[in-house]
Chains A and B, each alone.
Chain A
Amino acid sequence: MLTDRERNEIEEHLALYAHKRAGCIEAMMAVQRHRGWVSDEAVDDLAELLEMTAEELDGVATFHNLIFRQPVGRHVILICDSVSCWIMGYDNLLDHLRSRLGIDLKETTADGRFTLLPSVCLGACDRAPVMMIDGALFGDLTKERIDEILAGYE
């Protein structure tokens, strides 16, 4: 069941488009803001609201890397693996993050604190290498800087 708050946020947004399904990305993002991810049950509920089939909605959901169809940790790290960050030392930083967190890419720490995901270019190549945590961008990364940043997240 969608909560009243989720439903209100979504319906307000649907008014911006000629057809309800155009609001499907924002609808899934609204659920994800409140629950962290989009479950099968949420896909069913949203599909009904958006006048789509669940399969159509899931086809859109699974295409997009920022819609999470599996549970994630409390904080999601997106580390940029595109060319400028790669030139500036992505490989070493990834190794550091892996050993620091004890997980590989696309995994979540046992305490549920972090999920580590690869990302395409984050559009901050003058600050490469970069990563993003829950939407906050961090640039000019070094191993020491990563340790400081991670310490700020519970």
Chain B
Amino acid sequence: MASKTPLTDGIRPGEALSLQQYEAMGGYQGLRKALLTLKPAEVTETVKASTLRGRGGAGFLAGQKWSFVPMGDDAPQPKYVVVNADEMEPGTFKDRVILEGNPHELIEGAIITSYAVQASVAYIFLRWEYQEAVAILTKAISEAGGAGYLGEDILSSGFSLDLHLHVSAGRYICGEESAQLNSLEGERPNPRNKPPFPAIVGLWAKPTVINNVETISCVPHIIQNGPEWFRSLSLTEDGGTKLYGVSGRVKNPGIWELPMGTTAREILEVHAGGMQDGLAFRGLLPGGASTDFIVQEHLDTPMDFQSLQAVGSRLGTGTMIVLDDKTCPVAMVLNLERFFAQESCGWCTPCWGGLQWIVQMLGALENGEGTHADLEMLERHAKWLGPGNTFCALAPGAVEPLQSALRHFRDDFERHIREKRCPWR
């Protein structure tokens, strides 16, 4: 019987699965099946049928993204696949588990993805700070090449692929897919205007698929066990398992592979063991820094794309950051907005100008120098920096924790104004 935790099976802390260990668990059987028995379009159709949605934050259907890539003899060549391993969303540490624990799962997924869109070159775009993963992936790519899974005429299928590791040098914006393409090309990594989307005009203006590490790592299992099996892993209509995580002042912070749609309460109270002794829960960001706060009344919400949207938030990366009652919500939002202001690439005015202003107003509020007019101005900024006013999603993401904090923790903001100080200091 196929596993309930396909992504993390066999992974042990501090040790990467070798090629032999991965193969002994059925590794590279999905690749064999795809290359030797399925046409590229059938692979894409299978992934579409699985309802696999992107695990990097935006949640776009992976199979649909692939289906935009031009196919056939007239398609521009070469085509590319880029694995986004630039995990830098604050509070997010899930891709690290795969990168350090089972590199071949990711490599197999990258090869199958490349086959589906007939890409001949693939890159893994990895953040520099994941130094363990640099060593692990370098070794694994070499092992995969030695076993005939990369290079010319893979498994005598006629399909060829070169896979390279690209190590970056910092900056959050490089995780945005079009900025990542500019970065790979050796340009200053500002995001690109869209459309055209990367699937049509991507790396060096060629068709390019970019997917997150966790997304790509689901692919071998979907091919091997089928889309119905993948959908059956989930409690909701978005297929598969999810790497959920918890950080903050809980008893047992960590990452767990659970059915998609597991409730926030189960993740927080059962897996993370609840709050540390003496602390009470105030709220949480469900999927990294750029998602809206949810609070006590939302804890029974399934952690999936649609359910979280229904309560005014997003699944994002699925790694939650917990706010406790001994931590000031205004100071927490200030920390978040400082991050976004610093990491803005500076291209769009609402983003670079607006975020600086937000930081100044929050700083004043936290120091007891804020006014009610500041709260109104912060609310206006949440709209001005929202979707549609910038090239990329950095600014719209940045205002999500702000707008929801203003709603859920209004009294705490008011107290800072009334008492002319931070009540937590």
Which A positions have Cβ atoms within 8 angstroms of B?
Answer: 16-26, 28-29, 50, 52, 59-60, 63-67, 78, 81-84, 86-88, 119-128, 132, 135-137
Instruction: Tell which of B169, B249, B327 touches A66, judged by Cβ atoms closer than 8 Å.
Output: B169
Q: Which of B101-109, B128-136, B152-160 contacts A (4 or more CB under 8 A)?
A: B128-136
Do A86 and B332 touch across chains, with their CB atoms under 8 A apart?
A: yes
Assuming the contacts A84-B248, A128-B253, asked whether A120 and B172 have C-beta atoms less than 8 A apart, the reply is yes
Q: Which of B54-62, B180-188, B353-361 contacts A (4 or more CB under 8 A)?
A: B180-188
Instruction: Tell which of A25, A84, A124 touches B321, judged by Cβ atoms closer than 8 Å.
Output: A84
Do A26 and B289 touch across chains, with their CB atoms under 8 A apart?
A: no
* Total count of chain B residues near the partner, CB < 8 A: 54
Whether B352 is near chain A, meaning CB under 8 Å from some CB there, is no
B residues 317-337 near A (Cβ < 8 Å) are 319, 321-324, 327, 332, 335-336
Question: Which residues of chain A have C-beta atoms less than 8 A from B245's C-beta?
Answer: 125-126
Whether B413 is near chain A, meaning CB under 8 Å from some CB there, is no
Do A87 and B332 touch across chains, with their CB atoms under 8 A apart?
A: yes
Do A66 and B321 touch across chains, with their CB atoms under 8 A apart?
A: no
Known pairs A17-B186, A28-B169, A120-B342; list 6 more (Cβ under 8 Å).
A21-B186, A82-B335, A83-B285, A87-B323, A124-B93, A126-B253
**In the bound complex, how far is the Cα of B322 from the Cα of A136, in angstroms?**
27
Closest to B182 in A: A60
Do B187 and A60 touch across chains, with their CB atoms under 8 A apart?
A: yes
Assuming the contacts A121-B88, A121-B89, A126-B247, asked whether A83 and B321 have C-beta atoms less than 8 A apart, the reply is yes
Do B169 and A25 touch across chains, with their CB atoms under 8 A apart?
A: yes
- When A and B form their complex, which 8 residue pairs have the shortest distance between CB atoms, in order from nearest? A125-B247, A21-B186, A64-B169, A82-B90, A66-B170, A84-B247, A126-B253, A121-B90
Query: Closest Cβ of chain A: how far from B293's Cβ, in Å?
Result: 12
Closest to A59 in B: B188
B residues 235-271 near A (Cβ < 8 Å) are 245-249, 253-255
Query: Closest Cβ of chain A: how far from B69's Cβ, in Å?
Result: 18
Closest to A61 in B: B169
Question: Which residues of chain A have C-beta atoms less than 8 A from B131's C-beta?
Answer: 135-137
Whether B87 is near chain A, meaning CB under 8 Å from some CB there, is yes
19 contacts between A and B (CB under 8 A): A17-B184, A29-B167, A29-B169, A63-B189, A65-B171, A81-B339, A83-B91, A83-B285, A83-B332, A83-B336, A83-B339, A84-B90, A84-B248, A87-B248, A121-B92, A124-B93, A126-B247, A135-B129, A136-B131
Do A123 and B88 touch across chains, with their CB atoms under 8 A apart?
A: yes
Question: Which residues of chain A have C-beta atoms less than 8 A from B249's C-beta?
Answer: 87-88
Instruction: Tell which of A66, A83, A84 touches B128, judged by Cβ atoms closer than 8 Å.
Output: A66
Closest to A24 in B: B186
Question: Which residues of chain B have C-beta atoms less than 8 A from A28's C-beta?
Answer: 169
Question: Which residues of chain A have C-beta atoms less than 8 A from B339's C-beta?
Answer: 81-83, 120-121
Question: Which residues of chain A have C-beta atoms less than 8 A from B323's C-beta?
Answer: 87
**In the bound complex, how far is the Cα of B271 from the Cα of A39, in angstroms?**
49
Assuming the contacts A63-B189, A86-B332, asked whether A26 and B247 have C-beta atoms less than 8 A apart, the reply is no
Question: Which residues of chain A have C-beta atoms less than 8 A from B164's C-beta?
Answer: 16
Whether B408 is near chain A, meaning CB under 8 Å from some CB there, is no
Do A65 and B204 touch across chains, with their CB atoms under 8 A apart?
A: no
Do A23 and B169 touch across chains, with their CB atoms under 8 A apart?
A: no
**In the bound complex, how far is the Cα of B334 from the Cα of A82, in angstroms?**
11
Instruction: Tell which of A23, A26, A78, A86 touches B129, judged by Cβ atoms closer than 8 Å.
Output: A78
Question: Which residues of chain B have C-beta atoms less than 8 A from A125's C-beta?
Answer: 91-93, 245, 247, 253, 319, 321
Question: Which residues of chain B have C-beta atoms less than 8 A from A84's C-beta?
Answer: 90-91, 247-248, 321
Whether B414 is near chain A, meaning CB under 8 Å from some CB there, is no
Do B129 and A123 touch across chains, with their CB atoms under 8 A apart?
A: yes
Q: Please, what's the 1-or-0 string for B86-127, where 1 marks a CB less than 8 Å from any CB in chain A?
A: 011111110110000000000000000000000000000001
**In the bound complex, how far is the Cα of B363 from the Cα of A101, in angstroms?**
27
**In the bound complex, how far is the Cα of B187 from the Cα of A19, in angstroms?**
11
Query: Closest Cβ of chain B: how far from A135's Cβ, in Å?
Result: 4
B residues 386-400 near A (Cβ < 8 Å) are none
Do A21 and B91 touch across chains, with their CB atoms under 8 A apart?
A: no
Instruction: Tell which of A22, A81, A83 touches B185, judged by Cβ atoms closer than 8 Å.
Output: A22
Do A120 and B327 touch across chains, with their CB atoms under 8 A apart?
A: no
Do B335 and A83 touch across chains, with their CB atoms under 8 A apart?
A: yes
**In the bound complex, how far is the Cα of B188 from the Cα of A21, in angstroms?**
11
Assuming the contacts A19-B186, A60-B187, asked whether A124 and B204 have C-beta atoms less than 8 A apart, the reply is no
Do A26 and B253 touch across chains, with their CB atoms under 8 A apart?
A: no
B residues 185-201 near A (Cβ < 8 Å) are 185-189
Assuming the contacts A64-B171, A83-B336, A135-B131, asked whether A126 and B254 have C-beta atoms less than 8 A apart, the reply is yes
Do B186 and A25 touch across chains, with their CB atoms under 8 A apart?
A: yes
Closest to A83 in B: B90
